[in-house]
Structure 1
């Protein structure tokens, strides 16, 4: 297995998981919103009747009404499921357009919000305020974490290993711990891997450390415990990163990797799998 490298060397190997996004760049989603608002602006009457006809004719554009009242697509889905027992706005727009718009107006003041915003002239300051409140950063953060999970899953699949993702494995004295990748039966796992990638900081990094510490506490001597850690968020939480590195240095876990050292991760997993006759 890999020998623990110096902490500072590991720190230098951390990279950004999410690329910078130009907020002025055109995207397919932005173009759809522009087209939808253009059609919305062409309404003769921005009232319940007019909006009901609009959503019936433009069912794909219901999320634009959600954005107008401050609902992200995820929040819109959750609200629809709570009210209509379905998150599918397409079907609701076609079959219950009046009920859909009436509910949006009653719950979120849709008609007034639309009239106010469509008649207003916006300044650069308004644009920056809107960007400050966006949840796009949170979405990208989730994607960055999944990137590492996807990479290690691809390696396990390519090696022909039987694996489970995002579950718990059993260790000593019947105790269990979480893992992002489990090779073998979770009740008698052979290899367990933590995948923790963050470009932003916060308590979630400390939570990630606790999970890896729990893995180290629960593990059996016959189990291989690895951690793939990356993202520039860790550079702001070096004390947390040191706790994981110390687990590696004291052999409480068997390996610690970044995306740039996944070739070493693959080699270590393959070596252990051959020794255990998993491949």
Structure 2
């Protein structure tokens, strides 16, 4: 074979799109099953029959009507049912009507009817495509930022001096690490607060442990370190959450808070303000 010297422009001109069909066998099952949902009404048995016929496919379509990801749907189920078994096919088989009646607390039948009866335009179609791509990522980002804003409002009600979303100076006085709040300042923080909010996908939960561990390794030992987190997705990642609790139990961080512990969070900040003369 004759030797040649290839060039980037030459090869770029030879590239072509790798077309692929997004539909696999399960997707085709879903598409075939869609029309059966036209029979759904306020009678819960209409949904019972569909779930009984093909639980996995019907559950996927229900999730699509609710406009949630698979992770979000599983999280919803865990919040509605007492345990993972009750939330799945076994729970449905054990009590079909009870299972559907529990789903109806999400106003499921109404959402199904509204979706089926709606007249769609090309703008609606493109909006849905945008939501499916950028939308899922943006929702996760917004959840995290909204929790940060929630925590900042509490911090600001207690302290006149603090720095948000900054890199604080570590114990050696040279290296730095990121934290959501440093009180009173990043150069010599007396209190560090890290905020982690999750409500959908669980893919980043493990990263939380790494973030927290880096702060623990970098901060002075006498700097108070607080964690504020929330989101029922943690229930699906108990092993990771347990690591946070282990940090707290071992004294590496002072306390973990959630929105339901907001009063305690503010009270503790007020106590720390007095103790440290801030």
TM range (shorter): 0.5 to 0.7
Where do 1:78-157 residues align within 5 Å? 133-157=132-156
- What is the CA-CA distance between 1:136 and the residue it aligns to? 3.2
Report the alpha carbon displacement of residue 192 of structure 1 after superposing the two structures with TM.
0.8
Q: CA deviation at 1:140?
A: 2.5
> What is the CA distance between 1:169 and its match in structure 2?
1.0
Q: Which has the higher contact order (CA 8 A, sep 6+)?
A: 1
Q: Deviations over 1:18-61 (max 9, x none)?
A: xx7986799xxxxxxx8xx6xxx9xxxxxxxxxxxxxxxxxxxx
Cross-structure match for 2:256? 256
Does residue 126 of structure 2 align to residue 67 of structure 1?
yes
Distance in 1, matches of 2:154 and 2:205, equals 24
TM-superposed deviation, 1:221:
2.7
In the alignment, the residues of structure 1 paired with residue 161 and residue 268 of structure 2 have an alpha-carbon distance, to the nearest angstrom, of 16
Aligned to 2:170: 171
User: Normalization by structure 2: what TM-score?
Assistant: 0.53
Q: Is the 8 A contact 1:184 1:191 kept in 2?
A: yes
- 1:194-209 mapped onto 2 (5 Å cutoff): 194-209=194-209
Mapped partners of 1:184, 1:21: distance in 2: 47
C-alpha distance in structure 2 between counterparts of 1:270 and 1:211, whole Å: 26
Equivalent residues in 2 for 1:255-274, closer than 5 Å: 255-274=255-274
Structure 2 Cα separation of the partners of residues 69 and 141 of structure 1? 17
Q: Structure 1: give runs of 5+ residues left out of the alignment.
A: 1-14, 27-33, 42-63, 73-130
Shift of 1:247: 0.6
CA distance in 1, matches of 2:274, 2:235: 35
RMSD: 3.3
Matched residues in 2 for 1:251 and 1:199: separation?
Answer: 27
Deviations 1:180-217 (A, max 9, x none): 11222211112111111111233311111111111111
Aligned residues: 170
Choose 246-255 or 139-148, whichever is displaced more.
139-148
The separation in 1 between residues aligned to 2:243 and 2:197, in whole angstroms, is 16
Q: What TM-score results when the alignment is normalised by the length of structure 1?
A: 0.53
Segments of 4+ in structure 1 off by > 4 A?
20-26
Displacement after TM superposition at 1:141 (Å): 2.1
Gaps of 5+ in 2: 1-78, 81-105, 115-119
Q: Evaluate the alpha carbon distance shift between residue 67 and residue 210 of structure 1 in structure 2; reply closer, same or farther with a 3 A threshold.
A: same
1:159 paired with 2:158, answer yes
Q: Is the 8 A contact 1:177 1:211 kept in 2?
A: no
How many angstroms does 1:135 deviate by?
4.1
Q: Deviations over 1:159-186 (max 9, x none)?
A: 1331222221112123322211122221
- 1:175-190 maps to which residues of 2 (within 5 A)? 175-190=175-190
Q: What is the match of residue 224 of structure 1?
A: 224
- The answer (yes or no) to whether the contact 1:161–1:183 under 8 Å persists in 2 is no
